[in-house]
Amino acid sequence: MEDFGLYIVMTAPELGYQEFTRICVEAEVPMLQLRDKRMGDRELLLLASTLAEQTRGSKTRFIINERIDICLLSGADGVHFGPDDLSWQEARKLLPKSCLVGISTHSLEQAQQAQNDAAINPWGISYMSFGPIYPTVAKAIPDPPVGSENLRKVLKNDTLPVVAIGGIFSHNLPEVLSTGARNVCMIRQFGQARTESELRQRINTTKQQLMEVNK
């Protein structure tokens, strides 16, 4: 998989899931992940199916957080797993090869292991996230920040796309990009937008910054 640039995680966005997704699709956001652990299975499947239909045929790939069953039933493009979820090896036994598999890494050791796995099995992991780069409250129990210097070390190995994640906003994005990062995930930066114009402006500004480093 090639570098893609912007990765957005949706967790109860201010604009609502369907409106948020519509705008992301129109803005051609490359990667859009649904992460909402408050919902029951039926509600989550209904939402995932609706959002998968919105993104189908567009330039936006729709990713489900950790749930293989929801991914397969909804027709999403991929699944993203954390260190405590199913391993990518287990997931690949159930998922078609066309399905994207992303994994989260929260330390140099985890990142290096993922990169080693990708070198041996290039069909297994599609991309990995590394972070949190900065302190974040996006999770109930956040992981310790890894910092931009460790991100720089991880990026020296280019076996698979690395997504910088965690506490990234417009004011510290330049520092993240200065490490050589080509893919960035921002959650609250977009989820907290309260109007369509505000969200579009934030997306367009971020995509422009990423385009500058991905030339």
Confidence of residue 120 (pLDDT cuts 50, 70, 90): very high
The pLDDT value recorded for residue 182 is 95
Cα–Cα distances (Å) from 4 to 7, 25, 36, 54, 131, in that order, read 8, 15, 23, 20, 18
Superfamily of domain 6-213: Aldolase class I (3.20.20.70)
pLDDT score recorded for residue 139: 67
Confidence band, pLDDT 50/70/90 cuts, at residue 143: confident
Q: Is the pLDDT of residue 34 over 80?
A: yes
pTM higher than 0.85 for the full model? Answer: yes
pLDDT band of 163, cuts 50, 70, 90: very high
Q: Tell me which H or E stretch contains 43.
A: helix 41-55
Residue 211 has pLDDT above 80, yes or no: yes
pLDDT at 100: 98
What is the band of 126 on the pLDDT scale with cuts at 50, 70, 90? very high
Tens digit of pLDDT for each residue in 69-116? 999 999 999 999 999 999 999 999 999 999 999 999 999 999 999 999
Across the range 17-38, mean pLDDT stands at: 97
Residue 215's pLDDT is what? 64
What's the mean pLDDT in 10-18? 97
Determine the pLDDT at residue 160: 95
Q: What is the pLDDT of residue 149?
A: 96
Is 147 a residue whose pLDDT tops 80? Answer: yes
Token pair for 194? 């309260």
- Which single residue is written with the structure tokens 């609706």? 50
**pLDDT higher than 80, residue 141:** no
The pLDDT value given to residue 57: 97
Q: Report helix, strand or coil for 82.
A: coil
Tell me the per-residue pLDDT of 45-66, one tens digit each, with 9 for 90 and over. 999 999 999 999 999 999 999 9
User: Where do the DSSP E strands lie in 40-130?
Assistant: 61-65, 78-81, 100-105, 127-130
Distances (CA, A) of 190 to 42, 69, 156, 204, 208: 26, 27, 28, 11, 15
